[in-house]
A and B are shown apart, each in its own frame.
Chain A
Amino acid sequence: MDYTLKTTNLSKYYGSKKAVDGLNINVRKGDIYGFLGQNGAGKTTTIRMIMGLIKPTHGEVSLFGQRVLPGQHSHYGRIGSIIETAGFYPNLTAVENLEIHRRLMGVTNKDYLEEALELTGMTDVRNKKVKGFSLGMKQRLGISRALLHKPELLVLDEPTNGLDPVGIKEVRKLILDLSMKRKITVFISSHILSEIQQIASVIGIIHDGQLLEEIGFDELKKKNRSYIELKTSDDKKASFLLEDSLGITDYTIVEQGLVRIYERLNESAAINRVLSENGLEINGISVMNDTLEDYFLQLTGGAFNVS
């Protein structure tokens, strides 16, 4: 398999605290890999290890099929990144900041700089000092910087932080365009499910430093299950009747008074009738679909920003 980015048992401990624990991430060429996790889950620590900013306690990172050795930096010329807040030299203009980046990246073609500004709509403010920029403008300029040298891999740590809804939409479109037209591999982290949901082809879910799941988006959709949701005042009686009178075993009591039945989905009326006839008070019954949100909440134990 042709992996652009791969981590093997990647771990970072701070004393006894495990910030990242045994991560095995596999990003194939051309993927848009959504790295999803709540704040403090270990996303930025992972990205910092990938970019060589911090040393892993254990494990290794492979980029473009080659293991990254300590002090090795040649492959960074093939990666564009934004890590946390995009920082700039505030005394310099947008174009001067990008010029520094161009030189350090060893890019000889100066047209790339204008192209990068144009991609994020920053051409008009090219000669303005960065110290007067809003957070959103800085993020856009950060994206310009990440794209300037035409990288093969984009590593973006919460790139829509500080952007307004229009800006978020534009960034999303830009990432999808880059992936489709330039075949750039994208590794994007976020704590917002809806953001990742709209662009990612593969999702990695990190929680408390551990990768809970790495799954293709299509596969994930298949996992969403339908069920009959039953609201009742007596869980125990419902449970007894489901098993004893109806022979249903694939069900869960989600919370007090709420039962989910995963079989015989087209027999909700019959189930309702049998339970009522046996004296069970039913407050509601309906056929439902598990959403992606439910899936993530279930995986992470309910700790997720699904806005």
Chain B
Amino acid sequence: MFLQLVCTETVKYKRTMIPWLVVCGGFFVSFVAFMMVVSDSQINWEVLIARELSLANNLALLFTAVFSGYVFTNEFHNHLSGTIFTYPVSRLKLYLAKNLVVLLMVVCYYLAFLVLTIFLGVIKMDGLPSTGILLKFIKFIFILSGANFVLVPVTAFISNIVKSPGTYVLTGMSYFLVYVSFFGSDYSLYVPPCIPDSLTFNYFVSEYMSKTDINGMIIVSSMTFLFSFIIDAFCYSRRDV
């Protein structure tokens, strides 16, 4: 039943800008990042992936905010908020389904990015990456999707309050500003918008994080997610429409 709810929620975005944004966004980022490293003759697979991922992570902040803002305010803009809450489905389940759909979108964005990155990498490197690197890349895509997903309830909360389409774009830009302001500082490991890029650097360039750093990062991410998720889920399921 819940799976059917998630499928129904996904179907709603058929013929919208969202599927295009997911796939083309991933491709576009991969292509632009590749053009920035194409002239570097000394590059290897790991560095190529790390550099490409860096841009992908930055834009993922914006894309994830747009995805979540769109998913959570779509019904409001189409005068459907009075309809979706009159189904025999709990609001909490609806909320969870919407979150899962956003997660799916983020994963697809990174997967589209992964496909083109490998394709372009094969052209540049004259061969496929080793199985180890490939698996690491694939596994990391899911970690990054999770790291970006941490901010979804925050964006959803803001979007549900303000409801204007521009809000989620501005929210995404604010995340990027936070990233620019904190990345490289001592606190960057504990600032959610910086976490995807910090992880990328650690796993593909230099393993500079200690176990304590990683634990701290996990705790901060989990707390951010849980706290915002609980508040937003409560507001979503209790609000008057």
Q: Which residues of A contact B (CB under 8 A)?
A: 48, 51-55, 71, 73-77, 79, 81, 83-92, 96, 99-101, 103-106, 129, 145
Contact = CB atoms under 8 A, between A and B. Distances in A.
Interface of B: 1, 4-5, 7-8, 11-16, 74-75, 78-91, 237, 240-241
A71 B83 CA distance: 16
- The winner among B5, B87, B91 for most chain A CB atoms within 10 A is B87
A104 B12 contact: no
A80 B235 CA distance: 26
Contacts of B86: 51-53, 76, 79, 81, 83
Given A87-B79, A100-B11, A53 B88 contact: no
A55 B15 contact: no
B15 A91 contact: yes
A84 B82 CA distance: 9
Interface of B, secondary structure class, is loop
Nearest to B82: A83
Contacts of A76: 86-88
8 contacts: A51-B86, A53-B240, A54-B241, A71-B237, A85-B79, A86-B79, A86-B83, A103-B5
A53 B83 CA distance: 9
Contacts of A83: 82-83, 86
A104 B89 contact: yes
Contacts of A51: 82, 85-86
A103 B82 contact: no
A85 B83 CA distance: 10
A118 to B, nearest CB: 21
Contacts of B79: 84-87
Given A91-B16, A92-B12, A105-B88, A53 B78 contact: no
A97 to B, nearest CB: 9
Contact of A53 (B12, B89, B241): B241
Nearest to A87: B79
A90 B13 CA distance: 10
A303 B81 CA distance: 31
Nearest to A99: B11
Contacts of A55: 240
Contacts of B240: 48, 53-55
Contacts of B88: 73-77, 105-106
Contact of B14 (A77, A84, A92, A104): A92
A104 B78 contact: no
Contact of B15 (A79, A85, A92): A92
- The winner among B1, B7, B86, B89 for most chain A CB atoms within 10 A is B86
Given A73-B89, A84-B79, A87-B78, A100 B8 contact: yes
Nearest to A74: B88
A191 to B, nearest CB: 18
Nearest to B93: A73
A46 to B, nearest CB: 14
Given A71-B237, A77-B88, A90 B78 contact: yes
B78 A88 contact: yes
Contacts of B241: 48, 53-54
B222 to A, nearest CB: 27
Given A89-B74, A105-B88, 18 more contacts: A48-B240, A51-B85, A53-B82, A53-B241, A71-B91, A79-B86, A83-B86, A86-B83, A87-B78, A88-B80, A91-B16, A92-B12, A96-B14, A99-B11, A100-B11, A103-B4, A104-B89, A145-B83
A87 B237 CA distance: 20
A101 B83 CA distance: 9
B139 to A, nearest CB: 34
A73 B87 contact: yes
A218 to B, nearest CB: 32
A77 B89 CA distance: 9
Contacts of B16: 91
A165 B78 CA distance: 26
A75 B88 CA distance: 7
A84 B83 CA distance: 10
B24 to A, nearest CB: 17
A100 B12 contact: yes
Contact of B82 (A87, A90, A99, A129): A87
Contact of A87 (B13, B83, B89): B83
A177 to B, nearest CB: 23
A51 B78 CA distance: 19
A104 B8 contact: yes
